[in-house]
Amino acid sequence: MRGPVVIFGTGLLGTSIGLGLSHRGLEVLLSDPSPSALSVAVDIGAGRPLHEQPGVWPELVVVAAPPDVCARVVADALERFPAAVVVDVSSVKGAILRELQELSAKNHLDLSRYVGTHPMAGRERAGAVSARGELFNAMPWVICPHQGSGQGAVQVAQNLGLDLGAVLSRFSPEEHDDAVALVSHLPQMMSSLVAARLQEAAPHALSLAGNGLRDVTRIAASDAGMWVPIMAANAEPIVTILHQLHEDLIKLIGTLDAPAAPGASLAMAKVISAGNAGQARIPGKHGGPAQPYAWLSVLVDDEPGQIAQLLTEIGEIGVNLEDLRLDHSSGRNAGIVEISVLPAKLEPLIEELTVRGWKVLQ
């Protein structure tokens, strides 16, 4: 990309994009309805205020506004900058496009210069103050041209993701919304519903919480401000999947209401094995096939450097670490480190770690 690039919306995504492009030497101009949000982004080095250079002819406009105002900002940008490609970075695509098409029906818009995109990065914190130019490194960035998107516009949209180090993939807007409804919105909904059941739990009961509950409810800590617009904009695909899950839930409740009835054991087994089958389809490391790795658990004292020491020794032993998790279930000043390795390496590693004095639990 050559630039200049105009960015509307200096939250986490907009500011990170500005930082990343500025670091590559492109000219970046920023705008935000909140003067203080804009000010933080400028101070961080994400770009200069657009209002200081109102006559700019940008190569690209990035709309990083919330999904409920996104389409209008895209429409305004298409009109104000008649030579620019305009992309958005919302996590829903169909609703944005539909709203743009409605706006264009009233006041013709050149939608050939619009390409919807979705960078899938940046979960933990919101706001410009947490922005980093490297946010998109090695993360997926989905490009969703609509049927009227011009080839040149699609190229510029792709260059944006590539220049920021992302891994590109192409989806139609509808395919995208169905996909994220399944792999992102469904787990969020169910995580929140499960976690909500804990609101009135006795502390004594919660003391038995293990890693299973922690894993299932981890994303229940997500921010309502971010999720309400997503739920509203992608409601239909989400509801379709929730209806299917609802059917399975009703069947399960019926089975458990009569657990000794003929066929009940098989029905219960099918609930678990259907979950096995679905879970096994999730891609493994680097998008490859899901690998059946072998796991071991090592007890470490909660002293600084213990985990680093363990990993260093595993490296010395010559075994590659495929995955790593910490288990917080224990009630004493010790941590459990779960390590996954190739199955063939499991036994030699357990032996060698035990010889070196590590407490291998399993």
Interactions with a copy of itself, residue window 15-74 (CB under 8 A): none
Binds a copy of itself (CB under 8 A): choice among 242, 341, 349, 353: 242
**What is the footprint of a copy of itself within residues 183-222 (CB under 8 A)?**
183-184, 186-199, 201-222
Helices assigned H by DSSP within 107-261 = 151-163, 173-180, 186-196, 203-206, 211-217, 224-233, 235-257
**What is the footprint of a copy of itself within residues 249-268 (CB under 8 A)?**
249-250, 252-253, 256-257, 259-260, 264-265, 268
Q: Distance (Å, rounded) from C-alpha 338 to C-alpha 147? A: 47
Nearer to a copy of itself, 112 or 295 (CB): 295
Residue of 328, 348, 6 whose CA lies nearest to 338: 328
Nearer to a copy of itself, 53 or 129 (CB): 129
Please give the structure tokens belonging to residue 354.
């035990």
Binds a copy of itself (CB under 8 A): choice among 223, 348, 351, 356: 223
- Find residue 30's DSSP bridge partners: 7, 49
CB of 210 to a copy of itself, least distance (A): 6
Please give the structure tokens belonging to residue 148.
């009227």
- Find residue 337's DSSP bridge partners: 298, 326
CB of 73 to a copy of itself, least distance (A): 20
Q: Distance (Å, rounded) from C-alpha 56 to C-alpha 4? A: 8
Q: Does 232 bind a copy of itself (CB under 8 A)?
A: yes
**Segment interacting with a copy of itself, rule: CB under 8 A, options 55-63, 106-114, 147-155, 283-291:** 283-291
Please classify residue 297 by burial: count the beta carbons closer than 10 Å to its beta carbon, then call 0-12 exposed, 13-18 middle and 19+ buried.
middle
Binds a copy of itself (CB under 8 A): choice among 69, 162, 179, 342: 179
Binds a copy of itself (CB under 8 A): choice among 138, 155, 344, 348: 138
The helix (H) or strand (E) run that includes residue 28 is strand 28-31
Binds a copy of itself (CB under 8 A): choice among 25, 83, 105, 308: 308
Q: Does 336 bind a copy of itself (CB under 8 A)?
A: yes
CB of 81 to a copy of itself, least distance (A): 30
CB of 322 to a copy of itself, least distance (A): 9
Map tokens 């960078």 to a residue: 119
Q: Distance (Å, rounded) from C-alpha 152 to C-alpha 193? A: 44
CB of 100 to a copy of itself, least distance (A): 18
- Identify whether 67 is preceded by a cis peptide bond (ω within 30 of 0): no
Nearer to a copy of itself, 51 or 285 (CB): 285
**What is the footprint of a copy of itself within residues 97-116 (CB under 8 A)?**
none
Q: Does 297 bind a copy of itself (CB under 8 A)?
A: yes
151 half-sphere exposure, CB direction, 13 A CA radius = 0
Please give the structure tokens belonging to residue 89.
């970075």
Is 124 in contact with 15 (CB distance < 8 Å)? no
Nearer to a copy of itself, 285 or 356 (CB): 285
Q: Does 348 bind a copy of itself (CB under 8 A)?
A: no
CB of 157 to a copy of itself, least distance (A): 17
Q: Count residues contacting a copy of itself (CB under 8 A)?
A: 139
Nearer to a copy of itself, 88 or 178 (CB): 178
Is 238 in contact with 189 (CB distance < 8 Å)? yes
Is 3 in contact with 47 (CB distance < 8 Å)? no
Residue of 23, 90, 62, 342 whose CA lies nearest to 227: 90
